Amino acid sequence: MLTVLLILIPLITGLLTFGLKGSGPKVLGLVSSLASLAVVAGALVQFQHAPEALQLSVPWIPQLGARFQVGLDGMGAMLCLLTAIAFLLVFITIYNRNYERAGSFYGLMLLSQAGLVGVFTAYDAMLFYVFWELALIPVYFLCSMWGGEKRIPVTFKFFIYTFTGSLLMLVGIIYLYLQSPDRSFSYAAFTNLNLPAPGAVLVILAAVCGLCHQDADLPLSYLATGYLRAVSHAGNHDPVRGDGENGPLRYRSLAATRAAPGRVHVV
């Protein structure tokens, strides 16, 4: 299953990297990014001929109706390709740099990549939320440990900023879950919901606060400037901003008005 490999490769190599020393972390990071790019290329070829083979749905937390449901559509495939290329370029660019605790640095980078790919491929809202946090948390440690002079206050503000937005997004997800007839987090179940207008407003606000707060088109300048400076000092690209702009488009458009007056059909 190529879709699962896209997540497992950076996840497993990231965990292994924490235990390596010397040049091991950077070599494994580069090999991992090359392998991810090769798997994405294979997934794109398969997507042209048998896209259903890239879908996987197995029970995850059956008591809550959550499933490990991942797959690739056209948008997700392109975003996974861009992610693989971006991380490969980052690892090539910083290959000659020497970092303290290099194993932790490259391990956090790879875990962030696993989270991003998970965001782009998740078809279960709870799974999406877990991957969303997996993409965010490593960035916090990257900036706080390898950022610039003011990295601590900047990353603390970044954590509060994103954590608040994530909680609001979780509220929206739970509300949709409670409205689904079969108590499911699946994207398919969410698309068939007919919500009352107040509930739809809640979902839209939760999506805006949880996702669009990381959009480059809607920045809080004093925070974004400091955060990007910390990312730059860490030798990192900006996975969070790319995540906020592109990854959750499937979930960012959770609600749109249609059908019966006074009600909203989730699409």
Q: How confident is the model at residue 213 (pLDDT cuts 50, 70, 90)?
A: low
Please write the tens of the pLDDT for every residue from 69-114.
999 988 889 999 999 999 999 999 999 988 889 999 999 999 999 9
Please write the tens of the pLDDT for every residue from 219-237.
443 444 444 455 444 555 4
pTM of this structure: 0.80
Q: How many domains does the chain have?
A: 1
Please write the tens of the pLDDT for every residue from 101-155.
999 999 999 999 999 999 999 999 999 999 988 888 898 888 888 877 777 787 7
Contact 252, 243 (CB under 8 A): no
Mean pLDDT, the chain, whole residue set? 79
Domain that holds residue 241: 2-266
Question: How much is the pLDDT for 225?
Answer: 43
* Radius of gyration for the chain, computed over Cα atoms and rounded to the nearest angstrom: 19
Question: How much is the pLDDT for 223?
Answer: 46
Question: How much is the pLDDT for 27?
Answer: 95
Give the single-character DSSP code of 86: H
Contact 128, 122 (CB under 8 A): yes
Burial class (CB in 10 A: 0-12, 13-18, 19+), 212: middle
Helix ranges (DSSP H) in 50-150: 74-93, 102-121, 125-146
